[in-house]
Amino acid sequence: MRALIIIDVQNDFLTDGLLVVPEGEQIIPVLNNINHHFDVVVATKDWHPATHKSFARNHEDREVGEIVEVNEVPQILWPPHCVKESHGAEFPSDLNTEVIEKVFWKGTNEDIDDYSGFYDNEKLNDTGLHDFLQSKGVTEVYVAGIALDFCVKFTALDAKSLGYKTFMIEDASRGINYRPNDVQNAITDMKVSGIRVIKSYELEKVF
């Protein structure tokens, strides 16, 4: 069985959001066009309490982009984003969400961030995604969404280590590119780990 995992396609990462990912909205029609290729479609949502330690404003005298330690774990500081139950945390209205069988929540514990759809950054807790995919008999996962250089990358790397045949759909994903070449480096890291980086048109050829 083949699953599409849609990572963090949420208003705050799109134009007018609080942590804008360039061209983020361009992936919405791509996702809507490809979802029929999959046996299972799931999504993740970044879902932070307002007090989350990944927000620069929740530290004294710290700015966005700085790295601090939270319980001895390095944490990049972000603007506030995807606060649970806010408009920014919702799916954009033009994303076809009817096909999404289940949503997995990440970043819900204020003390630790979660870039992967499977576990938090220290792998202390899991989101239930692996168990769900196992229960559906999924062996191949296709990861797409936001941000290519953070949550898409870490989800794909975990999927690969969990033993799934793993693909990342490049044109159905966009990155933050906080430092120049972050997206290119993320793509290289994924390829080196054995993840196949594909374009959405290739799905037409395969299935």
Site for ligand VGL in 63-82 (CB under 6 A): 78
How far is 15 from 135, CA to CA, in rounded Å? 36
String of contacts with ligand VGL for each residue 147-166, x by CB under 6 A = x--xx---------------
| CA distances for 122 relative to 43, 75, 110, 114, angstroms | 21, 11, 13, 8
Sign of the dihedral through C-alpha 17, 141, 111, 186: negative
Determine whether 114 is an active site residue. Answer: no
| CA distances for 123 relative to 10, 70, 106, 117, 145, angstroms | 24, 15, 12, 11, 21
Among 6, 95, 146, 186, contact with ligand VGL (rule: CB under 6 A) = 146
Among 9, 27, 28, 46, contact with Zn ion (rule: CB under 5 A) = 46
Q: Considering the rule CB under 6 A, would residue 91 count as an interface residue with ligand VGL? A: no
Do 31 and 144 form a contact (C-beta atoms < 8 A)?
Answer: yes
Determine whether 151 is an active site residue. Answer: yes
Determine whether 158 is an active site residue. Answer: no
Using CB under 5 A, which of the segments 103-111, 126-134, 162-170, 197-205 binds Zn ion? 103-111
Site for ligand VGL in 4-23 (CB under 6 A): 8
What residues contact residue 96 under an 8 Å CB cut-off, 6+ apart? 31, 32, 35
Site for ligand VGL in 43-62 (CB under 6 A): 46
Copy the structure tokens of residue 133. 């995919």
Residues belonging to the active site: 8, 106, 151
Q: Which residues bind ligand VGL (CB under 6 A)?
A: 8, 46, 78, 146-147, 150-151
